[in-house]
Amino acid sequence: MIKSRIISTGSYLPERVLTNFELEKMVDTSDEWITERTGITERRIATENQAASDLAYEASKVTLKRAALGIEDIDLIIVATVTGDMPFPSTGCILQDKLGAKYATAFDINAACSGFLYGLYIADGLIRSGMHKRILIVGTEVLSKITDWKDRTTCVLFGDGAGAVIVEPTEEDRGIISMYINSDGSMWDLLHMPGGGSRNPASRDSVDKRLHYVKMKGNELFKVAVRTLEDLVVKILNENNLKPSQLSLLIPHQANLRIIQATADRLGIPMNKVIVNLDRYGNTSAASIPIALDEAARTGRIRDGDYILLEAFGGGLTWASALIKW
Ligand code: UT7
């Protein structure tokens, strides 16, 4: 049976590091509060001129190079982002142009922090159906540009970055074993950006009311996240007759260390089997899982034949998981 397999990973993080200590000078916060409540100590910030497609381009170049592929080998580009270069065209099409991907089709996905896994889900289906042969999936975010730097409840959380993978078909006993994507729109207002769309188009008033920034009910989101992520992991493992102890690695979306620890604790997965990089990058939304996956792959934390589990939770609300035999 044909499955899809991740054959290459890559990531790009902007150079500029913004530390908790710098944030202490910008809003009423402290390194201690941020570290204790979130696990974040620093994050990367894009330059004024960098947009989502620029970060995506850097991550894509590395991913193609590691796969020893040219852009003509890619027939589909899926970009997951909530901070696209502009409302339209898609950031996928802008990235297609930058990469010179003449033989590919490109589009975007908006599923907030679950966006990369939504992209992987679509790619997996298209590969298994035989409709596409080699797909580039990129999670890219420049959240610093939709962050309200006067709001201490959100500005300490986010960072910029991009991660990418390439998937292709395989008949080997490895690859993406199973995936789930889910959403519950009844809680959309827990995490959103009200301005800039057709509900509240950009105007002097929308800017004055600070509508073009992320609004988050963090504490409510936290509770739903912990509950949902545990159920999500249990479900995908049960459906595949696997126990948490059989997982070599859990690669969660990097929103909050306490959420990651709570999920791992409830499942009895030791933290040395969990990838954590939010201390260095903060929450990079759709980019967080491909960045973490790339780090894990590059640092030798994943070996052939390992079972690894990716899981995400975010605005929408959306959540998703992927069980992979590497
Ligand atoms: O990626 C998509 C999914 N995102 C998530 O899942 C995020 C989930 N939520 C969280 O990670 C956490 O809820 C936060 C890190 C956002 C907040 O942590 P919390 O423990 O839930 O804090 P809280 O919102 O209940 O606030 C506790 C206190 C409040 O003060 P009072 O009302 O108790 O006096 C806040 O005003 O902490 C205050 N506070 C801060 N203090 C210093 C909020 N932000 C800050 C801050 N520095 N940056």
Q: Whole-structure pTM over 0.95, yes or no?
A: yes
Catalytic residues: 113, 253, 283
Cβ(319) – ligand 1 distance below 6 Å: no
Topology of the domain covering 3-173: Peroxisomal Thiolase; Chain A, domain 1 (3.40.47)
Which one-letter amino acid corresponds to residue 9? T
Whole-number Å distance, alpha carbon 307 to ligand 1 midpoint, is 34
Which atom of ligand 1 is closest in space to residue 288's alpha carbon?
Answer: 1
Using a CB cutoff of 8 Å and minimum separation of 24, what contacts does 144-147 make? 144/45, 144/46, 145/46, 145/83, 146/82, 146/83, 146/193, 146/212, 146/213, 146/214, 147/213, 147/214
DSSP 139-191: EEEEGGGG--TT-HHHHTTB-EEEEEEEEEEE-SS-EEEEEEEEE-GGGGGGE
Cβ(35) – ligand 1 distance below 6 Å: no
CATH code for the part of the protein at 177-325: 3.40.47.10
Whole-number Å distance, alpha carbon 219 to ligand 1 midpoint, is 6
Query: Helix 31-38 vs helix 257-267: angle between axes, to the nearest 10 degrees?
Result: 30
Cβ(158) – ligand 1 distance below 6 Å: no
Whole-number Å distance, alpha carbon 218 to ligand 1 midpoint, is 6
pLDDT value of residue 256: 97
Token readout for 38 is 């979130």
Protein residue with least CA distance to atom 19, ligand 1: 219
- Is 3-173's fold the same as 177-325's? yes
Protein residue with least CA distance to atom 8, ligand 1: 222
Protein residue with least CA distance to atom 30, ligand 1: 153
Residue ranges per domain, the chain?
3-173, 177-325
Cβ(153) – ligand 1 distance below 6 Å: yes
Cis check: omega of the bond before 221, within 30 degrees of 0 = no
Among 30, 219, 258, residue to substitute to test ligand 1 (most atoms within 8 Å of Cβ): 219
- If we measure between CA atoms, which residue out of 106, 116, 36, 120 comes closest to residue 75? 106
Per-residue pLDDT tens listing for the chain (326 residues): 899 999 999 999 999 999 999 999 999 999 999 999 999 999 999 999 999 999 999 999 999 999 999 999 999 999 999 999 999 999 999 999 999 999 999 999 999 999 999 999 999 999 999 999 999 999 999 999 999 999 999 999 999 999 999 999 999 999 999 999 999 999 999 999 999 999 999 999 999 999 999 999 999 999 999 999 989 999 999 999 999 999 999 999 999 999 999 999 988 999 999 999 999 999 999 999 999 999 999 999 999 999 999 999 999 999 999 999 99
Whole-number Å distance, alpha carbon 222 to ligand 1 midpoint, is 9
Cβ(66) – ligand 1 distance below 6 Å: no
Cβ(255) – ligand 1 distance below 6 Å: yes
pLDDT value of residue 267: 87
CA 95 to mean position of chain CA atoms: 17
* 266 C-beta neighbours (distance < 10 Å), count: 16
Euclidean distance between the first and the last CA atom of the chain, given in angstroms as a whole number: 17
pLDDT value of residue 196: 95
CB 118 within 8 A of CB 289: no
Q: What are phi and psi of 127, to 5 degrees?
A: -70, -45
